[in-house]
Amino acid sequence: MAVLVGKKAPAFSASAVIKGGEIVEGFSIEQYLGKKYVLFFFYPADFTFVCPTELLAFQERLGEFNEKNVAVVACSVDSKFSHWKWLQTELKDGGIKGVKYPIVSDLSKTISENYDVLAGDYDYSENGEVTFNGTPMAYRGLFLIDKKGIVRHQTVNDMPLGRSVAETLRMVDALQFFEENGEVCPADWHKGDKAMKETQKSVADYLSKK
């Protein structure tokens, strides 16, 4: 599994469904460069069980991400038409109607490959036949990308394990606090808590005041 932290987020241009029902071509997170942070997350598939709980949870707190100048973007290997249908389906029927942030279609699986979250790989036989080993879907990868397009935080969960939106917001707060104040954030830091300067003395001071 690749570690992308500290590296440029892989670029892409793909179909996406935005605003809960508008299909667009050539969607790219590079449109946010210099303007917004990006929370780019992968999920395995539309019309499944854990996935709608995550997408709806991010939508429920979308206002908080907006206040922090973070664009939320989701992605799976489903087609743009599958995304559109899922977005039109009521919650009681397993849909995610009401989700407004962009959902990218990675039908070719190249975006998942480039972010190294694809749950398997391709194998080529001597006569040129291609087979896929594993599950042709993405793990629950999540990438926090700064305004310069650099990945600053990533997590990758196996498919049965849903993520914490609260923890994601905490990491946004920590990154922005560090950028604004130059102080680093200790274990379990939350916005409003005391931070640290990068010296050995600051560690002792911090621990003595806990």
Provide the annotated active-site residues. Answer: 51
> How far, in whole angstroms, is CA 149 from its chain's centroid?
13
Q: What are phi and psi of 156, to 5 degrees?
A: -135, 115
Contact 58, 165 (CB under 8 A): yes
Beta bridge pairs of residue 27: 14
Q: Which residue, 73, 15, 12, 75, is CA-closest to 39?
A: 73
Pairing of strands 151-157, 22-27: unpaired
| Torsion, CA 169, CA 106, CA 29, CA 94, rounded to 10 | -40
| 42 and 141 Cβ atoms separated by less than 8 Å | yes
